[in-house]
């Protein structure tokens, strides 16, 4: 087995054949067997396979984008399950972007944020209030709901509002010791939920526990985005943008400052890194991704209410980051995809299957044990096991490696360590 893997690693042509065959086979099986969730998941996991190949970055990106934007929708579009597949894929995208945001806060800057979903809620409400008639209650000017074209502006506004809240939360908290942060953010998440739940009086801003219904769908050049299959492309574009930004940030000056703060605050400060500003920056950037996805979520669900933003959601996003690997972008993407699919597909399928077994009298599973209710249990176990035995996650983060000679010869070429680094720049 190991020998084969070694051969595979040496031979790029062989890799190309393997991945091509894999993609073709899973594409055909999903195309023909529309109801098979397994085929859908296998086609998605071709991206994971792609991650382990030794192609250059550009090739990987091109193949990945082709699979996601053409092959996956095409293969899934042949049956009535099309919209539900795209729904799952869209939600996976939303959660990946949020997990990448949390990854900046937890993984890079080492600040444990347990109320991350609050920023998601802020983004969702920002769009939700202005894209329904709700804003008429308190805005002195303008006609509401705003049209669907404003969605694209609100992506930016949601970003900024969430970032402002991130900074507002950070200012008092970041001056004290790190572990207070966890509990204060935990409280913050709950408080935001309570406030949204009760802000229907004296002025009705959020419509309280009733939530905001019939949020305007986004519009672009007269085209309305109504179905998951259309939202899929919106999310895909935003997601690619997010991944690009995150990767650039990670190796920028601020990214290195975050890592320095994570490793040792005092040493980082002694090296001239402004502690509070760096941490606030992490908070703001992380929150802004979440806020942006909140806007998308509000537009996609066309309904916003406080029950979507509980502690369980915050912990779900944390589980994604821990499972995938703190600080590792590919890891977090994998973690977010796994957890979302587990939540949406595996647990519900398993519950249905067990219910059928109970109905036909094969085995009797008590209702209390139904897998859909066991989320907390599963997440708890994942958190404990990974913290104890594999704190670096499924795909650990790798630091970039530099070739000393090359640096000295003046070529300041940086490789981002994850892939590709081994073949060219490996330095004993």
Partner 1 sequence: MIEHVLQTLPQVVIDGLALGAVYAIVALGYTMVYGILELINFAHGEIFMTGAFVGTALFLSFSAFGWLSSMPMLLSLLLVLVATSIVTGLLGMGIERVAYRPLRSAPKLITLITAIGISFLLQDFVRFITELKKGNYILTGPSLFTGQVSISASSIWSGFHDASVKSSFFIVLVTAVVMMVTLDFFVNKTKWGMAMRAVAQDRETAALMSVNVNKVIALTFFIGSALGGATGVLFAIQYGTIDPYIGFILGLKAFTAAVLGGIGNIRGAMFGGIVLGLLEMFAAANLPIISNGILGAEYKDVFAFSILIMVLIFKPEGLFGKVSIEKV
Residues between 16 and 35 with contacts to partner 1, criterion CB under 8 A: none
Q: Which of 180, 244, 353, 426 binds partner 1 (CB under 8 A)?
A: 180
Residues between 265 and 304 with contacts to partner 1, criterion CB under 8 A: 266-267
Q: What would the two tokens of residue 110 be?
A: 């080492």
Asked whether position 383 contacts partner 1 by CB under 8 A, the answer is yes
Nearest to residue 168, comparing CAs of 153, 151, 188, 182?
A: 188
The region, left, alpha or beta by phi > 0 then psi within -120 to 50, assigned to residue 363 is beta
Asked whether position 47 contacts partner 1 by CB under 8 A, the answer is no
Rounded CA separation 109/310 (Å): 24
User: What is the DSSP code (8-state) at residue 70?
Assistant: I
Rounded CA separation 357/364 (Å): 7
Rounded CA separation 205/125 (Å): 10
Q: CB under 8 A: which stretch of 88-96, 175-183, 286-294, 420-428 binds partner 1?
A: 175-183
Tell me, by CB under 8 A, how many residues bind partner 1. Answer: 50
Asked whether position 69 contacts partner 1 by CB under 8 A, the answer is no
Which residue in the block uniquely carries the two structure tokens 């640096």? 407
Asked whether position 376 contacts partner 1 by CB under 8 A, the answer is yes
Q: CB under 8 A: which stretch of 75-83, 137-145, 362-370, 417-425 binds partner 1?
A: 362-370
Q: Which of 7, 183, 210, 241 binds partner 1 (CB under 8 A)?
A: 183
Q: Which of 198, 252, 307, 399 binds partner 1 (CB under 8 A)?
A: 198
Q: Which of 7, 187, 271, 414 binds partner 1 (CB under 8 A)?
A: 187
Residues between 307 and 346 with contacts to partner 1, criterion CB under 8 A: 311, 315, 318, 322
H or E, element range at 213: strand 212-213
Three-state DSSP class for 139?
coil
Asked whether position 384 contacts partner 1 by CB under 8 A, the answer is yes
Residues between 89 and 118 with contacts to partner 1, criterion CB under 8 A: 106, 110, 112, 114
Distances (CA, A) of 68 to 46, 240, 419: 10, 11, 21
Rounded CA separation 312/258 (Å): 27
Rounded CA separation 89/72 (Å): 10
Asked whether position 240 contacts partner 1 by CB under 8 A, the answer is no
Q: Nearest approach, Cβ of 12 to partner 1 (angstroms)?
A: 38
Asked whether position 380 contacts partner 1 by CB under 8 A, the answer is yes
Q: What would the two tokens of residue 44 be?
A: 């998605």
Q: Which of 1, 359, 363, 368 binds partner 1 (CB under 8 A)?
A: 368
Torsion angle defined by CA atoms of residues 185, 189, 194 and 200, in that order, rounded to the nearest 10 degrees: 120
Residue closer to partner 1, measured from CB, 237 or 369 = 369
Residue closer to partner 1, measured from CB, 84 or 197 = 197
Q: 250-268 burial string, b = 16+ CB within 10 Å, else e?
A: beeebbebbbbbbeebeeb
Which residues contribute to the site for partner 1 (CB under 8 A)? 106, 110, 112, 114, 172-173, 175-180, 182-184, 186-188, 190-191, 194-195, 197-198, 201-202, 266-267, 311, 315, 318, 322, 366-369, 373-377, 379-384, 387-388, 391
């Amino acid at each position: 087995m190991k020998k084969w893997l070694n051969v595979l690693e040496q031979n790029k042509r062989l890799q190309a054949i393997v991945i091509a065959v894999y993609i073709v086979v899973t594409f055909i099986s999903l195309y023909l067997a529309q109801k098979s969730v397994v085929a859908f998941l296998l086609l998605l996991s071709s991206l994971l396979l792609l991650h382990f190949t030794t192609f250059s970055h550009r090739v990987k990106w091109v193949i990945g984008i082709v699979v996601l934007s053409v092959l996956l929708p095409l293969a899934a579009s042949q049956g009535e399950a099309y919209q539900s597949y795209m729904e799952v894929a869209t939600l996976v995208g939303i959660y990946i972007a949020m997990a990448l945001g949390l990854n900046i806060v937890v993984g890079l800057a080492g600040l444990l944020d347990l109320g991350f979903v609050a920023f998601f809620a802020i983004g969702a409400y920002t769009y939700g209030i202005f894209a329904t008639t709700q804003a008429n209650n308190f805005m002195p000017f303008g006609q509401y709901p705003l049209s669907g074209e404003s969605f694209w502006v609100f992506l930016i506004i949601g970003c900024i509002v969430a970032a402002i809240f991130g900074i507002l939360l950070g200012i008092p908290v970041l001056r004290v010791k790190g572990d207070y942060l966890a509990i204060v953010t935990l409280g913050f998440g709950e408080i935001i939920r309570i406030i949204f739940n009760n802000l229907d009086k004296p002025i009705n801003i959020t419509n309280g526990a009733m939530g905001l219904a019939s949020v305007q769908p986004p519009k672009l050049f007269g085209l309305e985005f109504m179905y998951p299959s259309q939202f899929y492309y919106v999310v895909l574009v935003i997601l690619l943008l997010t991944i690009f930004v995150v990767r650039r940030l990670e190796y920028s000056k601020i990214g290195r400052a975050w890592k320095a703060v994570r490793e040792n605050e005092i040493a980082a400060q002694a090296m001239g890194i402004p502690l509070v500003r760096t941490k606030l920056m992490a908070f703001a950037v992380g929150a802004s991704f979440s806020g942006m996805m909140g806007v998308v979520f509000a537009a996609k669900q066309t309904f916003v209410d406080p029950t979507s933003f509980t502690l369980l959601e915050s912990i779900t996003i944390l589980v994604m980051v821990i499972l995938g690997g703190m600080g590792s972008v590919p890891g977090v993407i994998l973690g977010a995809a796994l957890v979302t699919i587990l939540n949406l597909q595996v647990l519900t399928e398993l519950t249905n299957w067990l219910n059928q077994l109970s109905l036909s009298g094969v085995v009797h599973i008590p209702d209390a044990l139904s897998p859909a209710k066991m989320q907390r249990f599963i997440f708890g176990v994942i958190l404990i096991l990974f913290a104890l035995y594999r704190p670096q996650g499924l795909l650990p983060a790798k630091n970039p490696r530099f070739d000393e000679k090359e640096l000295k010869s003046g070529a300041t070429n940086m490789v981002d360590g994850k892939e590709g680094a081994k073949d060219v720049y490996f330095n004993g």
